[in-house]
Amino acid sequence: MAVRAVRGAVQLDVDEREHLLASTRELVAAVMTANGLTPDDLISVLFTCTPDLVSEFPAVAARETGLGSVPLLCAVEVDVPGAMPRVVRLLAHVDTDRPREQVQHVYLRGAVALRRDIAQ
């Protein structure tokens, strides 16, 4: 087993609580599925939001997906002028047998533009 980092992001249409929660649940599920992960494989997950997302903590959605025993942390992204708005990002630290080059990073909706080089 090795510790690997898995990245992901999703761009939201609006800053509304239910939309943020549903989008974050979708992102978490996509990352887990793409990498064949279970909650026991997760060491920790860091979520960030762009400063324009204030309706809820993304960790609330992660807990709803069964990650209540995984250490979760939320933070605000750096407010860079011209940066893509309404983005939730995640960085998950996982135990996996996958080599680094086989880790699948997941970018959903408009967030695909952030990393076209590694987006699934």
Active site residues: 7, 63, 74, 77, 89, 107, 115
**Which 3 state secondary structure label does DSSP give 16?**
coil
Tokens, residue 64: 């709803």
Name the nearest CA neighbour of 42 among 10, 8, 17: 8
CA dist., res. 68 & res. 10, Å (int)? 21
Residue where the block lists tokens 């942390």: 73
